[in-house]
Amino acid sequence: MSNLFSTLHISGTALNVNQSAINVVSNNIANMNTEGYHKQKVNLSALTIDIPVGNNINSQINTDAGVEITSIERYSTDFLNSYYNDQITEQSYLNEQKNTMTNIANVFDDLEEQGLDAALQAFYDAINNLNQTPNDMNARIAFTKAVSTLVKAMNKVSKRLDDTEEGNNGNGKSKESLNHSKIKSTIEGLNQSFDELAGINKMLANSQTGSLENNALLDKRDTILKEIAQYGDFDTEIQFDGTVKLSLGGINIISGEGVEGYLGVETAIKYDEYCENIDIENTNTSNAVITFGKNDEIKYHNLNKRFDTGLIGGILDSTNTVKEIKGDLDTLAKTIADTFNEIQTREGAYYIANVDGNIELTNENIDDYKIFITNDNTNTITAENISVNPLLLQDDGYNKIAAAYFPDNNPDINAVGNADNIIAMLNTRNTANSIEKMYDGIIGEITSSYESKTNEAAMQDSVVQTLDNKISEQTGVNLNEEITDLIKFQNAFTASARVFNVCNNVLDTLVRLGE
């Protein structure tokens, strides 16, 4: 009766297979909202007959047959993944640059009428006021106050730009500021992803391909690779067993189960010290320097060039962006200082203080009469160190302001209504390259840079979105598909069970034949 048992066997395999298939469907449904989940599908095939059956038609029919699961296929888009990851790298780079520009632009809050421009206007207003009554004590004191407000506004903008940069890459000097920076926590997050990826490599190496478990590991692998791609342009090489070799510009980071090393981050100054000691070319342009090594032993001291894109590249870049804007601001501060100091101390400029004695400006005392000086004993005025000459803020310091100007250098000390020097100061506003126009230039640079970064980032966002759609269309779960499959497999299961029952009844009948 081998043929009846073979039927029983066939329906048995069908019961098993359909049950497993329902299992896979239920896994799909369970994970329809899981991030990075790829739809899986059972591949069925008829059982092959492994013994020769000859030409006898009866024996052909009666041979054991049935159905089996050859593999559980994972819908994948491996061909798209590497391109997709590259786009993600670019996307996070552009978005980070956009962030930096947004932060910088927020420092220049001129439309709220409390920015640097407002201080500049108040400064010129004070000069105009002084022109109306050049000998008036209150007008003079108001002038020194407006100067104070102006330098404080400059200092504040400079400080806020520094803060932006310090939040990103630290200040380049202190380890403490680096530890609180974005770059530090970003690198830490990346190192964790390295560990996770290595762990998955290990599990992948020990798991059966085409199994549910293996597929779940591949999902996790792809999710982590996507995550890592945000940070920078890593090279990935997928091995035949599904494990990944991860490297960065030729530096091996992960191969197999082991992490070769972790990324670290150092202050620029520490790196400079290192360069001094071993005499290598210093090409660092950021406040933070990315290193690579293991167990406190640094193998590579500067990987910044390898991070020219991705989130890390974007963060590292901010040093330069901020530096450029600060450079412009420093030029502005220096121009303000030079312009007004020059007028204030030019030959023929007259100080009320002269009444007490005949003051002649020399190289030694000229600094006492300048309006703007540095507050850190350096010679170059920057937005950070510009400050009011404290001598002007003393009790009668306002007398040091040179309102009058006698070009023949023959001061008429009664001519306290002479304001020719003040008029010269007012006139600095009316030149083609006035301070205010210079400031407009800075704002223009910021806004146009912000605009272009925003556009680039938006374009890249839509590229990534399109790819995202494409990938999820190909690998995601479609509920209708699953439910149809479910019904399909359920029907097959029910039918197989019916066959089994029929077979069983037939056998039963046979068994009772002799009774």
Q: Which residue is listed with tokens 């888009």?
A: 77
Which residues fall within 8 angstroms of residue 347, CB to CB, at 6 or more apart? 361, 409
When asked if residue 426 is in the footprint of other proteins (CB under 8 A), the reply is: yes
d(C-alpha 333, C-alpha 151), whole Å: 8
Q: How far is the CB of 506 from other proteins (least distance, A)?
A: 33
Q: Contact between 111 and other proteins (CB under 8 A)? A: yes
Q: In the chain, helix, strand, coil percent, each to 5?
A: 60, 10, 25
Name the amino acid, one letter, at 66: G
Query: Longest C-alpha distance within the chain, in Å?
Result: 148
| Between 59 and 131, CB nearer to other proteins | 131
Check binding of 432 to other proteins (CB under 8 A): no
Number of neighbouring beta carbons within 10 Å of residue 247: 15
Whose Cβ is closer to other proteins: residue 4's or residue 29's? Answer: 29
Residue 373 or 404: the one with the smaller Cβ distance to other proteins is 404
DSSP 56-124: -HHHHHHS---EEEEEEEE---HHHHHHHHHHHHHHHHHHHHHHHHHHHHHH--GGGT-SHHHHHHHHH
**Contact region with other proteins (CB under 8 A), list: 62-70, 250-258, 320-328, 408-416:** 408-416
What is the rounded CA–CA span in Å between residue 223 and residue 229? 10
Contact 264, 293 (CB under 8 A): yes
Nearer to other proteins, 224 or 477 (CB): 477
Chosen residue from 185, 427, 491, 501 binding other proteins by CB under 8 A: 427
Inter-CA distances, 61 with 56, 65, 498, 515, Å = 9, 9, 20, 30
Question: Closer CB to other proteins, residue 132 or residue 380?
Answer: 132
Q: Which stretch binds other proteins (CB under 8 A): 13-21, 200-208, 214-222, 420-428?
A: 420-428
Compose the 442-471 pattern: x for residues touching other proteins by CB under 8 A, - for all others: -xx-xxx-xx-------------x--xx--
Asked if 515 is part of the footprint of other proteins (rule: CB under 8 A), the reply reads no
3-class secondary-structure state, position 373:
strand
Residues 80-109 that bind other proteins (CB under 8 A): 102, 105-106, 108-109
Per CB under 8 A, 419 contacts other proteins: yes
Binder among 237, 241, 276, 412 for other proteins (CB under 8 A): 412
Q: Which is nearer to other proteins, 62 or 133 (CB)?
A: 133
423 near other proteins, judged by CB under 8 A: yes
Local structure of residue 400 (DSSP, 8 states): G
Contact pick of 49, 483, 502, 510 for other proteins (by CB under 8 A): 483
Say how many residues touch other proteins, by CB under 8 A.
62
Nearest Cα to Cα of residue 332 among 149, 117, 109: 117
Residue 450 C-beta: closest distance to other proteins, Å: 5
Among 361, 393, 416, 463, binds other proteins (CB under 8 A): 416
Is 300 or 450 the residue whose CB approaches other proteins more closely?
450
Side-by-side strand order, sheet with 262-267: 262-267, 288-294, 297-300
203: contact with other proteins by CB under 8 A: no
Asked if residue 20 binds other proteins (CB under 8 A), the reply is: no
Beta bridge partners, 266, equal: 289
Q: What is the DSSP letter of 286?
A: S
Give the sign of the dihedral formed by CA 357, CA 361, CA 362, CA 367. positive
Does 43 bind other proteins (CB under 8 A)? Our answer is: no
Handedness of CA 14, 20, 26, 31 (dihedral sign): negative
Residue 113 C-beta: closest distance to other proteins, Å: 7
Between residues 33 and 208, which has the closer beta carbon with respect to other proteins?
Answer: 33
Contacting range for other proteins; rule: CB under 8 A; set: 8-16, 158-166, 284-292, 415-423:
415-423
* Contact residues for 459 (Cβ-Cβ < 8 A; gap 6+): none
Q: Residues 234, 248: contact at Cβ < 8 Å?
A: yes
For binding to other proteins (CB under 8 A), which residues are involved?
32-33, 39, 102, 105-106, 108-113, 117, 121, 124-125, 128, 131-133, 135-136, 404, 406, 412, 414-420, 423, 426-427, 429-430, 436, 440, 443-444, 446-448, 450-451, 465, 468-469, 472-481, 483-484, 487
